[in-house]
Structures are given as C-alpha cells and as structure tokens.
Structure 1
Amino acid sequence: MPQVEITIGGRNFEVACQDGEEQFLMTAAAMLDVEASSLSTQIGRMPESRMLLMAGLLLADRTAGLEDKLREAEARIAELQAQIDSAPTQAPEPQRIEVPVIPAQTVERLSDIAAKAEALADEVEAKAAG
C-alpha cells in the first residue's frame, strides 16, 4: 500500500492509499489544502483538528450545492427525455394529391387545334401586310 505525503494548510501528512489511487488522493488533498489555506489566511493559526474540520465542512457545503445542481440537471434531463419519448416517432403521412391525367387523344386534338390557330394567324398577318 503506497504512502503519499500531502500538505494541507501548511502541515505535512503521510497518508496510505490503494495502488493507483495516488493521483485521486493528491487531487483531494489539494482541494482540502485550498480551503485550509484560505481559513488560515482569514482566521490565523488554529489547531490542526479544527483547521481540518472547518476545511472539510467548507468542502462538504460546496459538494452539497453541486449535488443540488446535479439533481436539478438530472430532473431537467428526465423531463426533456420524456418529451422526446412522447414525441411522434414517425413523420405524419404525406398528403395525397391527385393530378388529373390528360388522355393522349385529347393532347393530340389540342395540338391540331393549336396548329390550325397558328396557320390562321399567319394568314391574317399576310393579308394585313399585303
């Protein structure tokens, strides 16, 4: 079991931890040291046990606040997930529009009529010009 030396509030401590947890311990100790150093600056020298107690309480308060925010965020996520789950999973069926089909025979007759109309227009223009 590794022994790690940490500094909290200007005081050194030797702490044992599990293999691989050294970095976690150093990070936690650094957080506690920030609080303890802040207390020492504000209050001055105090007994080691009181300094550790106060620093621990400050961290616990901060942690409780973060846990409250986490619960709020989880509730909001659950609310949004419920909205997603209740939303329709498929797009609405497209609206069907029927387009009339013009029979080929009608198209041919209209083409013939258009050709005759153009021919008549050409005759009228020729007579008007001449």
Structure 2
Amino acid sequence: MAEVTLSIGGRAYKLACRDGEEEDLRAAGGLLESRVSSLMEAHGAVAEPRLLLMAALLVSGELLERKATEARLSPFPAPQQLPNLAQYEALAARAEALAQRLEEAASAS
C-alpha cells in the first residue's frame, strides 16, 4: 500500500492508495486544490468542510456536464435506448425469412 501526501487549501493530507495509483491520486488532488484555491480567492475565509464540499460539488458538476456533452456527441445510443432482446430476436427472424426467400428465388431462376 502506497502513501501520498496532498496539499489542499494549505493543509497536508496523507492518504493511502494501491501501489501504482499514486500519480492518479496526485492528479485528482491537484484538480481539487485548483478548485479550492479559486474558491478561497473568491470567497475568502470559509470553514474547511464547507470549502471542500463546495470544491467537490464544482468538480462533480464538471464531470456531469462532460458526461452529458459526450452523450449528446456519441454516435452510439445510450444503453437504455438500445433495443431489448425481444426486438433483436424479431429482427433476426425477419432477416432469416428474407434470406430464405432470397435463396428460394435464386434456386428458382
């Protein structure tokens, strides 16, 4: 188990993570620190729990916004828009019937 020390809002936090995940944790901490710094500049002295909550909500909002944008731009339908199994089975049955008709037409010629 690895340990990483993050500095967020002027305080050091020692966190454990799996070996190999240190850089990801540092990157996440850097993102949170940038939001906390912006909030501290904009709002001055705010209680630490409230400051961290506000920063986490900002990051969460950005993530949700990015997911929504990606969903709008994706050429693939969202899983809830995909046909269900019965629809696939009906489509397969239609394709088989069409293939059979084509084979019959080809053999009659």
TM-score (normalizing by structure 1)? 0.56
Following superposition, the deviation at residue 78 of structure 1 comes to 2.8
Rg (Cα) greater in structure: 1
Following superposition, the deviation at residue 2 of structure 1 comes to 1.1
TM-score (normalizing by structure 2)? 0.67
Superposed CA RMSD in Å reads: 1.2
SS in 2 for 1:5: strand
User: 2:36 — aligned with what?
Assistant: 36
What is the rounded CA distance, in whole Å, between the counterparts of 1:5 and 1:78 in structure 2?
Answer: 40
User: 1:117 — aligned with what?
Assistant: none
User: 1:50 — aligned with what?
Assistant: 50
- Structure 1 unmatched runs, 5+: 80-130
Following superposition, the deviation at residue 9 of structure 1 comes to 1.6
User: 1:18 — aligned with what?
Assistant: 18
Following superposition, the deviation at residue 31 of structure 1 comes to 0.4
- Structure 2 unmatched runs, 5+: 78-109
| Structure 1 stretches of 4+ moved >6 Å | none
SS in 2 for 1:78: coil
Following superposition, the deviation at residue 13 of structure 1 comes to 0.7
